[in-house]
């Protein structure tokens, strides 16, 4: 079982303005939790005991929040002080904090719940079946997305992920993946999107995926955030 995870928390959250003018996106509230605390709780329930969190925008607020709340996890905070490194660069910058074993990378802007624990278990079983995979994404059909403005980015067939329209690009990345750290072995860039890594793996038919059957609640924009709160968290 995987014991280590990284939370991507450095982004500006621009599509959630004005909410994120003074509050970093991971600290937006959902019910009695924040997006960040919800993610940390999910990881703890999934068997994770070590978490690395990268921060940049309003980083001190996230650091103070983590200092003032207890999560029963070993948490390392990595500050991207000079510039934001994007998703791929952010993950690569934290590799040294992990063992050389595969680890989880997760976005806190998805609202994770206990139903996803079954998905995580399926991912782990598939990732380590026969031989370790390079990278495994948890995908969801766009029809299950609360935000109907999200279009599909991927096709999924026999657990292989592609951007080719096999039938159509029906799948969305949920924000949860398992990564083997050796996928970055030849990367010389500092700032880059994780999509560049995925595209290289797709070319070699080495990017795998598992389909989630859960309804996909993703805090993407200010309007979607308000609708999610109104429908799911208002008492």
**For 105-131, what is the mean pLDDT?**
94
**DSSP per position, 20-52:** TSSS-GGG-EETTEEHHHHHHHHHHHTT--EEE
Please name which of 111, 109, 94 lies closest in space to residue 12, comparing C-alpha atoms: 109
The domain total for the chain is: 1
In the prediction, which pLDDT does 235 show?
A: 58
Res. 234: pLDDT tops 80: no
pTM over 0.75: yes
Quick one: pLDDT band at residue 74, thresholds 50, 70, 90? very high
What's the mean pLDDT when you consider all of the chain?
93
pLDDT digits over 165-202, tens only? 766 789 999 999 999 999 987 767 899 999 999 999 99
pLDDT at residue 117 tops 90: yes
Q: What is the domain extent for residue 138?
A: 4-232
Q: Which residues contact 37 (CB under 8 A, 6 or more apart)?
A: 69, 71
Tokens of 120: 């995580």
Arithmetic mean of pLDDT, 47-67: 96
Alpha helix positions (H), 69-132: 86-92, 115-127
CATH of the domain at 164: 3.90.550.10
């Amino acid at each position: 079982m995987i014991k280590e995870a990284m939370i991507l928390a450095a982004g500006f959250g621009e599509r959630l303005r004005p909410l994120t003018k003074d509050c970093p996106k991971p600290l937006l509230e959902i019910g009695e939790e924040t997006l960040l605390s919800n993610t940390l709780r999910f990881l703890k329930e999934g068997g994770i005991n070590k978490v690395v969190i990268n921060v940049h925008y309003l980083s001190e607020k996230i650091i103070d929040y983590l200092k003032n709340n207890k999560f029963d996890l070993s948490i390392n905070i990595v500050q991207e002080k000079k510039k934001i490194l994007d998703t791929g660069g952010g993950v690569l910058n934290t590799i040294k904090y992990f063992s050389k074993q595969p680890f989880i990378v997760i976005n806190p802007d998805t609202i994770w719940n206990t139903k996803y624990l079954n998905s995580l278990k399926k991912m782990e079983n598939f990732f380590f079946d026969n031989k370790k995979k390079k990278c495994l994404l948890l995908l969801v059909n766009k029809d299950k997305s609360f935000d109907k403005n999200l279009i599909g980015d991927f096709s999924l067939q026999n657990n292989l992920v592609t951007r080719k329209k096999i039938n159509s690009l029906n799948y969305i990345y949920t924000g949860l993946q398992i990564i083997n750290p050796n996928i970055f072995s030849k990367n010389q860039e500092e700032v880059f999107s994780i999509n560049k890594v995925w595209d290289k793996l797709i070319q070699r038919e080495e990017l795998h995926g598992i389909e989630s059957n859960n309804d996909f609640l993703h805090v993407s924009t200010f309007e979607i955030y308000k609708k999610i709160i109104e429908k799911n968290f208002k008492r």
